[in-house]
């Protein structure tokens, strides 16, 4: 059940199937006999000489960790009928108190003839922005991260972040960025329906 891919020094070079190893694939590995992977993860034995552990786990979608022990946060994003994209770029923002905020982004294709998409995430996050068609949408804000959260987010046109040109008049737009940023609190105070806006550097 092995595959010969050539020879060297008059000895065959064999590609072994899962669970077997050695020059001629005659040795078997018992690393996966106890089924160490959780949540229907698939155990794959590895060469003990090349790895710290003699197995690794291939997790099913929705689970992560060395043994698939962690349930990922599942996020269902539903789009209103007027803004169904072909794909989205999802930005996860982690807000840190004593250091810079962290952004992790992932791209996801929206299935054909569907108005929703499922996304799984293990990393901690507090804010989610969805980007597509040249626009940003504020989808989620949660001060405290909830592990393994099951979220259902519905995006509408009211969630779109406005560009700076849609928020400020031509007088303020004539200011430099450093001068203009001092007025960034005003739109949020004066326009209660405004969820977010962005300029060339800030969101």
Two tokens, residue 44: 């794959």
Check residue 203 and give its pLDDT: 65
Contact 140, 128 (CB under 8 A): yes
Residues whose CB is less than 8 angstroms from the CB of residue 27 and which lie 6 or more positions away in sequence, other chains included = 20, 21
pLDDT of residue 107: 94
CA distance 58 to 64: 9
Q: What are phi and psi of 181, to 5 degrees?
A: -65, -20
Residue 128 has what pLDDT? 93
| Cα–Cα dist 125/133, whole Å | 24
Say how far apart CA 28 and CA 48 lie, in whole Å: 12
52-74 CB burial, b ≥16 within 10 A, e <16: eebbbbebeebbbbebbebbbbb
Strand partners, 129: 91, 138
pLDDT means per 10 residues, the chain with 203 residues, are 71 76 75 86 76 80 89 91 92 84 90 92 89 93 83 92 88 85 86 87 72
Give bridge partners of residue 106 from the DSSP assignment.
90
| pTM of the shown model | 0.72
Q: For position 1, what pLDDT does the model report?
A: 65
Gyration radius (Cα) of the chain, Å: 25
Which H/E stretch holds residue 64?
strand 63-64
């Amino acid at each position: 059940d092995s595959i010969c891919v050539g020879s060297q020094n008059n000895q065959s070079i064999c590609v072994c199937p899962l669970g077997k190893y050695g020059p001629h694939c005659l040795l078997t590995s018992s690393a996966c006999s106890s089924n160490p992977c959780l949540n229907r993860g698939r155990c794959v034995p590895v060469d003990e000489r090349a790895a710290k552990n003699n197995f690794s786990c291939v997790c099913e979608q929705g689970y992560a960790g060395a043994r698939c022990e962690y349930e990922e946060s599942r996020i269902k994003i539903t789009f209103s009928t007027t803004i169904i994209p072909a794909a989205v770029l999802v930005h996860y923002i982690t807000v840190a108190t004593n250091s810079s905020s962290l952004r992790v982004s992932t791209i996801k294709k929206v299935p054909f003839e569907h108005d929703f998409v499922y996304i799984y995430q293990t990393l901690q996050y507090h804010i989610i922005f969805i980007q597509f068609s040249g626009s940003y949408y504020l989808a989620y804000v949660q001060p405290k991260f909830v592990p393994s959260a099951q979220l259902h987010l519905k995006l509408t046109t009211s969630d779109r972040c406005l560009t700076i040109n849609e928020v400020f008049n031509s007088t303020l737009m004539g200011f430099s960025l450093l001068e203009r940023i001092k007025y960034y609190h005003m739109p949020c105070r004066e326009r209660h329906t405004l969820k977010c806006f962005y300029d060339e550097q800030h969101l």
